[in-house]
Amino acid sequence: MNRRRSAAAAITVVCALAVLASPDLLNRAYAAPMPPPAPVVPLAAPAVLGAPAAPSPPAVPPPPVELPPGAGPVTKDGKSLDDIRKEIDLLYQKAASATDAYNLADEQAKKQSAEVVGLAEDLVQGQLRIDALKDQAGAAARAQYRGGGLPPEAQLILTDDPQLFLDGVGRIQQGQKATKDLIAELTAAQEDLKTYTADASTQWQALEASRAKKERAKKEITRQIAAAKKLESSLAKEERARLARLEADAAFRAQSAWLGSGALTDINRASSAPGRKAITFATAQIGKPYVWGAEGPSSYDCSGLTSQAWAAAGRLIPRTSQEQWRLLPKVAVEDMRPGDLVIYFQDASHVGMYIGDGAIVHAPRPGRNVTLAGAGSMPILGVVRPDI
């Protein structure tokens, strides 16, 4: 038990500070004034079967110094850097929620667009069918006209040949049935055409609604990201460097508290074969940039990464983190295994893939790259398993 706790403590340092894995973050973090460094501990990717090793920064900074609320560096506007960090985090969380709304509307628009196209094809085929039936009815009318305008029954009565009379009765009965069938088919085709038209109108309205949702979500994403970037750019260079260190410190504390709570009882549970394939794909994307709405191959958002990773493993899962949380089977956090998806925040607006050793691979937010992080470095909503 002591050995496992010691391992977990070491993993806390390794995984939680993986937010520093991108070069720009490293440079900014180490540019900040720091106390004398603690012994250097190399940062390596967790050992996961089938997963390539991730790039390692040169060293892990010393553990953060606990500060009372509101303490720490203060900007020229009178706000503490920690308050600014929380404000920036909140703006990016709002952008993530809007991104999920955008992705869902995009998926719905694609589906509805395909349905509209299918209904349009049905309308064309339905009209062709009605035209063909009308041609058949016209042919019958022309045949009657060629018979002197008399209906077949009247022509039959005028015949003197008994055999022709009997043969004619059979043909009349067949003709009457054919006429009834023709009328019934024509009526059904016209009703189908009305249904196709109504369905097409409904689907078109739904498509337009989804497009409008996409545009609203796009504006909200742009607004929140612009506000976050403006807030960060208002800081001096030294303040931005300290802000990066505060971000790392907050992740370290959250991961330490999570592992220390005993929430994860087995950090190296065995993954499934599809789970290993998904991990291999996801970890191979490390270093690629986060772009909202992206699902590869050169960039990803959080759910774009997880959905494509599981698609590479042969399992199609919902596109958005909120739909992944809503529709995929849930498992207890203490029972999660590599390949499972960890859903974050109360609105399920972020997702990462658990890869073992208390770590996840995820696409964090705009301005960051796909990277490793401590699984407990953000508030966990729950865990889902795509391959139950």
* DSSP per residue, 6-28: HHHHHHHHHHHGGGG-SHHHHHH
CATH second-level architecture of 2-75+235-384?
A: Alpha-Beta Complex (3.90)
Average pLDDT over the chain, rounded to whole? Answer: 75
Place of tokens 């919902």: 318
Structure-token pair, residue 209: 């609604």
Report residue 148's pLDDT band, with 50, 70 and 90 as the boundaries. Answer: low
Least confident span in 102-116, 339-353, 355-369: 102-116
Task: Express as a percent the part of the chain with pLDDT over 90.
Answer: 40
Closest CA to 321 of 89, 51, 98: 98
Report residue 65's pLDDT band, with 50, 70 and 90 as the boundaries. Answer: very low
* Contact by Cβ (8 Å): 288, 299: yes
pLDDT higher than threshold 80 for residue 331: yes
Task: Express as a percent the part of the chain with pLDDT over 70.
Answer: 64
Report residue 2's pLDDT band, with 50, 70 and 90 as the boundaries. Answer: very low
Q: What is the mean pLDDT of residues 250-279?
A: 91
What is the DSSP secondary structure assignment for residue 295, as one 8-state letter?
B
Segment of 24-38, 93-107, 189-203, 335-349 carrying the highest mean pLDDT: 335-349
Least confident span in 112-116, 184-188, 215-219, 249-253: 184-188
pLDDT higher than threshold 80 for residue 5: no
pLDDT at 153: 52
CA 93 – CA 89 distance, rounded (Å):
6
Q: Please, what is the angle between helix 2-16 and helix 237-260, to 10°?
A: 160
Q: What is the mean pLDDT of residues 277-291?
A: 97
Least confident span in 16-20, 143-147, 245-249, 290-294: 16-20
pLDDT higher than threshold 50 for residue 246: yes
CA 339 – CA 250 distance, rounded (Å):
25
- Per the model's pLDDT, the better-predicted residue between 333 and 49 turns out to be 333
* Contact by Cβ (8 Å): 116, 207: yes
pLDDT higher than threshold 50 for residue 253: yes
Cα 259-265-269 angle, rounded to 5 deg: 115
- Per the model's pLDDT, the better-predicted residue between 239 and 132 turns out to be 239
pLDDT higher than threshold 90 for residue 191: no
Q: What is the mean pLDDT of residues 369-386?
A: 96
Report the catalytic residues.
Answer: 302, 350, 362
CA 16 – CA 46 distance, rounded (Å):
12
What's the predicted TM-score (pTM) here?
Answer: 0.64
Report residue 6's pLDDT band, with 50, 70 and 90 as the boundaries. Answer: very low
Place of tokens 């009308």: 134
Q: Which residues contact 380 (CB under 8 A, 6 or more apart)?
A: 258, 333, 342, 343, 344
